[in-house]
Structure 1
């Protein structure tokens, strides 16, 4: 056990409530816009971005000039602090500019993604009433007729060529130059800085308002401070918090960002080898894709130092495969939420090297500025170590609510923010993620983790991809049911897969709803590579409705 539980992070543990010391960091009082503006001036000769497809390089001086021109062009249109703009584009060298310019002008960047459901996009655009939509050529083709149909009055600026709308280069030219510009200064660091989407895998997306204080905190949550010439990879769509944090951290530490339009497992290892990307943050979906592709035989990946996986838990089987593929890499899980503006825990392997192998599946220990408690899902009783329950937190870094949407439901009667996740902590106060409450399968009085059953099904030698959810049952509440994609050339029946699982679990966790073998494209993914569990469950229930007999 750790000898001193109370340390520079944990201040007290009373009645199973874990309190941490205040995060007393002195952040730039005028906000991120003024802070980044000065950093980019000071780092003007450093490389800010590299196009991973063309090798084109952009310095911080070049990037800053475009951000100033974009800011001036926005102000020339009468856009005011508090107004919204919406990037709707894939990653490229110019895609980050609207976000940075929003910080320079006090506007709010509220990105969307072309591949999200149309009804959600319509609903969000109607709420946002964005003054400008900065979109790709592909997005313009879809968007132009739709915003007329939906009654959206946003001005469209196109990255690329356009017959009907102003393109981005013309927009920059309308600013004339990058001189005589004054950056917007915030009244309080608690003011909203950015709007990010949250949810989507379990239901409709919600737009969370993230403060300057929250983004500042996340920037410093962890760093690669020992490295002076770091390049980090960027492939996440702009609508996710991870993408904006990637931009913020690169400016803050003077890193270079390697820009890729999307994640490609077939070229990924060659790309990071070419650019010496030593620290990786990957979704579980991206990792499973890489495990299928493998490492090219001639490639030496000994330069990789760390890999954090995010978004959902990774089964022990997959972690084992990953460590075998990257034997010298520190591999840990990262746990956080958009609603709290970033990480909730941190696994500091430098501070606790002896615990890396012992507690490798932990998501880490508490972080400064956050108070934690685990409560029983049914009774609300506050639980002690090694007892899974609902994680509730209090922190000054939490979001400023959902944009134009009631967010009171995410708090309990005492002001604790309900994460919606099931975790537990051990005797050393290392936390472990178990599942998401919305995804938990309720069999009689038992709560069953779909990820637990997915881990077992995924270990079958014929299974390539898997999804488990609950199907309603009149007497029992839910019965677990699975959808499985088989590896090419394999032929196994759903009943055999059901038997494979049931032989390995106790009576309460049996997959009573059966297992369905589905096509490769049956399991849908979000733009960031997460399984869209809400949509996948809907599709699977339709299959079961049409084919009530187990296969």
Structure 2
């Protein structure tokens, strides 16, 4: 059974991405496009468009040509969108790198992507230069000034006119973020101009951003979620983006109050903080009307708690790096949002729910793997046709690796990743479901659940919780037992100071699994436990969320 949007398909223009993003820059010329939240430095839409042209001309004057790749290794800053759009306008490709990467991790991406230039910040230059020395990078540029790199500002100097570049939107890549996909080392996700442009147009009737909106740019720009929302869609809509280089709760709250932020695109850990941290009450957040959460599941209880505290709409969206990224999103209207759902699929998007054992299409309320087909689906993994063929079939269906179901109204619900399901006596248990239950306990500030080897059942769910008030492990386990089926009960529980998470807000379950392996390794294992431990070690190496994107 194929599920489609209830809204009619739209015509998507085949234009270069930057032309689409900046098509109303003249209309919004004097309006702030980007504001540095820490310094107040502001770039208007006129200055943004002019800077993009100048940087593009500067790159071209130094021999940059269509198809060349620039690695951007930087936290969020005002220059990031200028660099990205300038590279795009020349038919070049930006491969965005996680600023927490080590030199060796960055070197892998530089080599795999075939980067010609590296663009970074002074604080990361030492690591950047070390990585560049292990690659074929020809020049290293830096936002600001630092010895050993070319200042980005020289690209703004008055060079010759921009070269005319013929871009084929459906074929030419514009972004190359990295994702682990389903297995193995991180892979370059080839996103074309058409992929990202299609997603911009698809968002336009569900995420109703306008030039009247001021948005907090806290999600990392290197990640597909932040890249698309802040570097493309918000600028296309004429909104003002207040940029934060990294998340700090008090700074975030201060900026929401100071700039009267109207919309926030967040991840569940930030929603959790807004719902539960006492410091939130010290700030006036009344300007905030809509929070859109993505990158990981958001429980119903947490959604309700945040909405009640902030008096704003909290809705979920869903997508993947390989889908540019958004495929599902709830409407803005509160009455059209379904709790726990990521919303209906977007226009021009088709979905199937497929049995994970037989590949048989399923119907309403039947859980299976979510398959997606649409113009936002990536061209493929860079130089890796074998990996591409594993996730995109001959008919264009992309296998997400996520377990989901759909209701009669076409609203989708994400259960968990296939490979993260806990098998208790053969019964599959979704960690995200138990995490949502744990977070509904009044004493719990944060939670994670992993599989823990067991000699007779194979695995049992083990919870890790961060407390905000007193509670015993026995009380918490009894609380969960009263809310779930017997096979889903938390069998082991540990109180910790912090739940490890990635920059995109996903729980780093692999780290907790490794911790569990180490703890079990200290005890004489039973034969069946040894077998389960080996399986757990294999599982730890394959967890998708931990291959830092």
The TM-score normalised by the length of structure 1 is: 0.86
Equivalent residues of 2:16, 2:193 under 8 A apart:
yes
1:23 aligns with 2:9: yes
Indicate which of 109, 119, 136 corresponds to 1:124. Answer: 109
* Aligned partner of residue 54 in structure 2, secondary structure: helix
The answer to which structure has the higher helix fraction is 2
Shift in alpha-carbon separation, 1:63–1:227, aligned structure 2, 3 A: closer
Q: Which residue is equivalent to 1:11?
A: none
| Gap change, CA 1:309 and 1:199, over 3 Å in 2 | farther
C-alpha deviation, 1:503, in angstroms: 4.8
Decide whether the 8 Å contact of 1:410 with 1:417 is kept in 2: yes
- 1:333 corresponds to 2:312: no
User: How far apart, in 2, do the equivalents of 1:288 and 1:412 lie?
Assistant: 37
Residue pair 1:33, 1:105 contacting (<8 A) in 2 also: no
Structure 1 residue 526 and structure 2 residue 502: aligned? yes
Query: 287-296 vs 45-54, which deviates more?
Result: 287-296
Q: Establish whether residue 343 from structure 1 lines up as the match of residue 326 from structure 2.
A: yes
Match of 1:391 in 2: 370
Deviation at 1:436, TM superposition (A): 1.4
Inter-CA distance 190–444: structure 2 relative to 1 (3 Å threshold): farther
1:431-465 CA-partner distances (Å, limit 9, x unpaired): 11211112111223211010122223333444332
1:144 corresponding residue in structure 2: 129
Mapped pair 1:278 → 2:278: no
Give the equivalent residue in structure 2 for 1:517.
495
**1:205 maps onto 2:191 in alignment:** no
Cα pair distance change 1:360/1:202, threshold 3 Å: farther
1:128 to 1:503, Cα distance in 2 relative to 1, 3 A? same
The answer to which of 375-384 and 105-114 deviates more is: 375-384
CA–CA separation in structure 1 for the residues paired with 2:50 and 2:2: 49
SS state of the match for residue 79, structure 2?
Answer: coil
Q: Is 1:541–2:525 an aligned residue pair? A: no
Select 2:293's aligned residue among 296, 309, 312: 309
> How far, CA to CA, are the matches of 1:41 and 1:157 in structure 2?
29
Return 454-463 or 244-253, whichever deviates more: 454-463
Instruction: Assess if the C-alpha contact under 8 Å between 2:210 and 2:237 holds in 1.
Output: no
Distance (Å, rounded) in 1 between the aligned partners of 2:150 and 2:454: 55
Aligned to 1:237: 220
Aligned equivalent of 1:78: 63
SS across alignment from 1:160: coil
CA distance in 2, matches of 1:242, 1:531: 16
Matching residue of 1:106 = 91
- CA shift for structure 1 position 54: 1.5
Return the offset for 1:283. 0.5
Task: Write the deviation string for residues 181-223 of structure 1: whole angstroms up to 9, x where unpaired.
Answer: 2453312434222112335899753321112122112212334
Contact 1:17-1:373 at 8 Å conserved across structures:
yes
Deviation digits for residues 333-372 of structure 1, max 9, x if unmatched?
111222122322232254xx6444xx32221123221222
Q: CA deviation at 1:379?
A: 2.8
Equivalent-residue separation in structure 2 for 1:78 and 1:191 (angstroms): 19
Question: C-alpha separation between the residues in 1 aligned to 2:459 and 2:394?
Answer: 29
Distance verdict in 2 for CA 1:548–1:330, change over 3 Å: farther
- Tell me how far 1:410 sits from its aligned partner: 0.9
Separation (CA, whole Å) in 2 of partners of 1:482 and 1:548: 23
Aligned residues: 520
TM-score of the pair, normalised by structure 2: 0.86
Whole-Å separation in 2 of the counterparts to 1:201 and 1:319: 29
CA contact (8 A) 1:134 1:156 kept: yes
Look up the match of 2:545. Answer: none
Shift of 1:267: 2.8
Q: Which residue number corresponds to residue 381 of structure 2?
A: 402
8 Å CA contact 2:447–2:463 kept in 1: the answer is: yes
Q: Does 1:365 align with 2:337?
A: no
Pairing partner for 1:468 from 438, 441, 449? 449
1:259-298 Cα offsets, whole Å, 9 max, x none, are 1111221132331122122122110011112223246546
* CA displacement at 1:411 relative to structure 2: 2.9
Structure 1 counterpart of 2:417: 436
Unaligned runs of 5+ in 1: 1-15
- 2:163 and 2:29 map into 1 onto residues whose CA distance is 18
